[in-house]
Amino acid sequence: MPHVSSYTKVRGGRKAAAGNVGRPPVAWALPGIVFFALFAIVPLAIAVYLSFCHWDGLNSPTSVGTANWTRLFKDPEFRQAAWLSLLLTTISWAFQTPVALLLGVWAAGRQRSRAVLSAVFFVPLLLSTTAIAMLFHALLDPNFGVIKEIGPWFGIDPNVLGSSTGALLTVAFVGGWQFMPFHTLIYQGGTRQIPQVLYQAAEIDGAGMFRQFFHITLPQLRNTITTSSVLMIVGSLTYFDTVLIMTKGGPGTDTTVLPYLMYRTGFQTYDLGYAAAIATALVVVATALSLILVRFSGFGNMRSTREGM
Amino acid sequence: MSIDTRPEARPAQPVNRPRPAVARRRRTWGNPLAGLGSLVWLVLVIVPLYTLVSSSLMHQDEALNGDPLAFPTNPTLDNYRTVLDSGFSTMLTNTAIVAVATVAIVLVLAVPVAYVAVRTRSRLSGLAFRTFLLGVAIPAQAVIVPLYLLISKMGLYDSLPAIILPTAAFAMPVAVLILSGTMRDVSEEMYEAMALDGASPLRMLWQLAIPMSKAGISTVAIYTALQAWNGFLFPLILTQSEENRVLTLGLFNFMSQFGVNIPAVLAAIVLSVVPIFAVYLVARKALVNGLMGVGGK
């Protein structure tokens, strides 16, 4: 490849040279692609293969045909887990997006107070998921936690992790608590990139705050919303640490979301073939949702912004 | 907690002159709804953090019987001592090694990928870029069973590389996305100028693309470091022994080890945040501005 470009330079004069010379050979991307493939794409293929096997983690996997998949579609636990995962994702998205969007747009202003507040908002991002789940596990302990003091003020039963709705909502809330700063920052960055001219034009036309928000800010943030939503959806479909630490999938199986079911099946009962089937189902759902979102919002066209290339 | 309260650095603003007028106008009318919302959120952020720190300073019986919102009447560092005495430094070292190695691998591998994606027109590079774009959607859980197999076959089970390699791989898509975003902003004219001077692609990468995308590179470094610091699933499944234990897994073990000694558990959490909080205090601007860019344009 490099030979071709230097050859063109010699023959093609200045214009052609400027077009082709100095373009890096595609081979430069190979190490990165191979590495990513080795630990992400190839395992994905193996997961599909293992989903047609029985494997206890010790002996070699043995093929069992479609047994895992027929079992999967009949398994009430899987159905419940899939439903809970979708529910958790929906709740998380519906809760986090408006709050992060508003906080982000608000924080995009440059006043001193906002800088201070943003600094505080940021702190949860510094704690690991494990730390946050453990913190809330302690805070929500019905006997010792803050919840026994504060809960009654808002009519919340202190044993919130013991009720099925409460536990699921708590997991969604704790996830939001952790990732809100991240999404807020994304929206803050997105908002700051909106050309001020648009607002000035709107002011001249007499558009008020709400019209400006709905007709300028929101449409301009379209790609940001997509990015944030894809990350949010994939993120909440895969809540695992939080569930393992806070509820262990309980009460009963009421917070046993797909990743936790996969973990339990694979690494506690060592039914790794079936776990691979669950994992494959999970990736199908995550990819489908992201693709729909990306297509729906035209985010895949981002390459078209490469003008003159 | 002393937090840097200086106002944000102003990122490049295309339209500079007329902006203040508009900003002031928008401030005067304010946005009461968002302002109120942010105050509510502030309470939701501060109360847990306050309880975390104050309860970690309490004696156990005070934490269990007293009002959890009260100040510790008789502050003690015993809980911290308990945690530090139970192998905390090994875990800290392991986590630091994992974070640094992961960041190094990701930068070395993702920069050329992003550069090729931005600079090369071939169909193949487009395909590779799209693969990485989709890679964002691959959850780590989806591949953990095969990774367990793969890592065992490679003889890496229960070692730090067992955590580092998959963590780095899973940080690649976002890294490529961010880096290609910043590299795309380097103007074509500069490349052309360098090309006329006869610079090789490598020199253009080294002397133009990399220096011009410092912001993106630091974002990637920070984002990746946070991911590595945060990782739980890979250590949980792919390591076992105490000597290879990272912080997140160690915390999880503390929880069962200390049982109802809630102050000790909380102290462990505080200790696990201290290093990254220190980094935050030093590099707050780079951190915040960097993460702000993750959303792309």
Question: In degrees, to the nearest 5, what angle opens at C-alpha B265 toward C-alphas B263 and B266?
Answer: 65
Which pLDDT does position A21 carry in this prediction?
63
Better-predicted residue by pLDDT, B131 or B270: B270
Which member of B3, B122, B252 has the closest CB to residue A120? B3
Contacts of B34 in chain A (CB under 8 A): 102-103, 105-106
- Reply yes or no on whether the pLDDT at B125 is more than 80: no
- Examine the pLDDT at A131 and tell me if it is beyond 90: yes
pLDDT tier, B24 (very low <50, low <70, confident <90, very high otherwise):
very low
Q: Which residues of B touch A245 (CB under 8 A)?
A: 252, 255
- Cβ contact A240–B232 (<8 Å): yes
**Is there a contact between A39 and B293 if contact means CB atoms under 8 Å apart?**
no
Q: B residues 262-291 near A, CB within 8 Å?
A: 262, 265-266, 269, 272-273, 276-277, 280, 284, 287-289, 291
Residue from B3, B141, B204 whose CB has the most chain A CBs within 10 Å, to mutate: B141
Question: Which of the residue ranges A206-210, B122-126, B234-238, B251-255 would you say has the lowest mean pLDDT?
Answer: B122-126
pLDDT at residue B293 in the model: 64
CB A121 within 8 A of CB B40: no
Task: Please give the full DSSP string across B116-150, using - where no structure is assigned.
Answer: HHHH---HHHHHHHHHHHHHTT--HHHHHHHHHHH
Residue to substitute from B186, B229, B257, B292, interface A, most A β-carbons within 10 A: B292
Q: ipTM of the predicted structure?
A: 0.83
- DSSP class of residue B75 equals -
Q: Which of A85-89, A104-108, B64-68, B195-199 is predicted with the least confidence, judged by mean pLDDT?
A: B64-68
Residue B248 is predicted with a pLDDT of: 93
Joined tokens for residue B2: 């002393």
Q: Measured between alpha carbons, how far is B282 from A275 in angstroms, rounded to an integer?
A: 43
Q: What value does the mean pLDDT take over residues B180-195?
A: 84
B14 contact residues in A (CB cutoff 8 A) = 195-196
Name the residue with higher pLDDT: B260 or B217.
B217
Cross-chain Cβ contact A46/B149 below 8 Å:
yes
pTM of the model: 0.83
* Domain range A75-301, its CATH number among 3.40.50.970, 3.20.20.480, 1.10.3720.10, 3.40.50.460: 1.10.3720.10
Which residues in chain A touch residue B69, judged by CB atoms under 8 angstroms apart? 146, 149-150
Sign of the dihedral defined by the CA atoms of residues A103, A109, A114, A120, in that order: positive
What pLDDT digit, counting tens, does each position of A235-293 carry?
A: 888 889 999 999 998 788 899 999 999 999 999 999 999 999 999 999 888 888 878 87
Tell which wins on pLDDT, B18 or B148.
B148
For residue B92, pLDDT beyond 50: yes
Residues 180-209 of B with CB under 8 A from A: 184, 188, 191-192, 194-196, 199-202, 204-205
Residue A130, token pair as written in the block: 């494990």
Rounded-to-integer distance, Cα A109 and Cα B8, Å: 10
What does the CA dihedral A15, A18, A19, A22 come to, rounded to 10 degrees? 160
pLDDT digits over A183-194, tens only? 988 898 888 888
Nearest to A77 by CA among A237, A247, A289, A260: A260
- Looking at this protein, which amino acid is placed at residue B166? P
Q: Which of residues B290 and A249 earns the better pLDDT score?
A: A249
DSSP three-state, residue A58:
coil
pLDDT of residue B94: 96
Domain boundaries, chain A: 75-301
Residue pair A222/A203 in contact (Cβ under 8 Å)? The answer is no
